[in-house]
Structure formats: structure tokens, C-alpha cells
Amino acid sequence: MLLSLNLLKKTKRAKIFKLISQKSMKKTVLILLIALFLIGGLSFVLAEDKVIFPNSNANTKNKVDLVCMQKAVETRETAVAAAYDKQTTTIKSGLAARKLDLIEAWKKQTVRERTLAIVAASKKFRSTRFNAHKTYQQEVRLAWTAYKQQAKVCRNIDKEVEGNATDLSL
């Protein structure tokens, strides 16, 4: 009897706690939403109308030779495209060689010889594909390195002229 009375009290407490927590949760969510709307509204009111355009005269220090940059980008992209063409050509020739090797492997009469030939053809193609990808990565890395060096030259044109000038105020 005492046990059931305690369970009854606990369930009543649990129900009361749920009601209280639901009411307080609703109030908390409502207060948070109102606060968010107020903060959002205040941010629009207090915002300043400052618009900075990329081509404005705000950064007169950073001058770039546009023709030089265009040539640098063209050189980089041409080198990347050539590297990609070279990679795909190498992989295509590797696929053709694997096809011929597999055809020859299936002409073998014993299972052991055939299996060894198939594995060898797969390894040969895998190494060809791996080497082609490594070569591609190296060529792209070289193209980007050359581009970055050329971009520095394009950005430092005015600085070189200023650096060679003589200060007559001394």
C-alpha cells in the first residue's frame, strides 16, 4: 500500500513537473524569438550605408598590370590543359595496352599462366595510370608556381619604379 502511494505521488509529481516545464519552455522560446526579432530590427536600423566597390579608388596602393595578369592566367590555363591532355592520352594508351595484354592472357591454356598474365596486365595498367597522375600533378604544380611568380611581377610593377627613384628631399 505504501509502495503504491509513493508511486502515485511520484507520477503526480512527474505530471506536474511536465506541465511546469512545458509552460516554462513555451515562455522561454517566446522570449528568445522576441529578442531575436528585436536584435534583427535594431541591426537594420543601426546599419550604415557603406558600400565598397572592388574597382573603387580605395586601394590605390595595390596596382596590377592587367595585361600582364591576363598573359599569366592564359599561360597557366594552357599548361594545365596540356597536362590534362597528356594524362588522358597516357591513360588511353595504357587501356589499349591492357586490352591487348588481357586478350593475350585469355589465350593461355593453363589457369595459372592465365591468372599471372591477367594480374600482370592489371599491375602494368595501374602503374601507368599512377605515373600519369603523378606527372599531371607535377606539371600543374609547376604551372601554378610559374603563375604565382608572374603574378608577383605583375603586382610589383609600380613598386619597382618607385624603388628605383631617388629621394631628392635629403
What are the pLDDT digits (tens) for 63-121? Answer: 888 999 999 999 999 999 999 999 999 999 999 999 999 999 999 999 999 999 999 99
Of the segments 24-28, 35-39, 139-143, 158-162, which one has the largest average pLDDT value?
139-143
Of the segments 13-22, 53-62, 143-152, 154-163, which one has the largest average pLDDT value?
143-152
Q: CA–CA separation, 30 vs 34, rounded Å?
A: 6
Q: CA–CA separation, 126 vs 36, rounded Å?
A: 58
Residue 112 covered by a domain: yes
Residue 38 covered by a domain: yes
165 contacts 101 by C-beta, under 8 angstroms = no
Question: Total domain count for the chain?
Answer: 2
Confidence grade of residue 164 (pLDDT, cut at 50, 70, 90): very low
pLDDT of residue 16: 62
Helices 66-105 and 111-155: crossing angle in degrees, nearest 10, is 180
Same domain, 76 and 34: no
Same domain, 75 and 159: yes
Same domain, 115 and 152: yes
Residue 153 covered by a domain: yes
91 contacts 136 by C-beta, under 8 angstroms = no
Of the segments 2-6, 22-26, 42-46, 164-168, which one has the largest average pLDDT value?
22-26
Same domain, 70 and 144: yes
Same domain, 22 and 102: no
pLDDT of residue 147: 96
Residue 136 covered by a domain: yes
pLDDT per residue over 106-115, tens digit each?
Answer: 999 999 999 9
Same domain, 79 and 14: no
Work out the mean pLDDT of the chain and round it to a whole number. Answer: 79
pLDDT of residue 23: 67
Residue 115 covered by a domain: yes
Residue 169 covered by a domain: no
Residue 21 covered by a domain: yes
Q: Tell whether the model's pLDDT for residue 162 goes beyond 50.
A: no
Same domain, 91 and 35: no
Same domain, 43 and 79: no
Residue 91 covered by a domain: yes
Q: Tell whether the model's pLDDT for residue 58 goes beyond 70.
A: no
Range of the domain at 107: 66-163
Same domain, 88 and 43: no
Asked which of 6-10, 104-108, 152-156 is least confident by mean pLDDT, the reply is: 6-10
In degrees rounded to 5, what are phi and psi of residue 156?
Answer: -100, 20
User: What are the CA-CA distances from residue 19 to residues 12, 28, 33, 54, 131 (Å)?
Assistant: 11, 14, 21, 57, 69
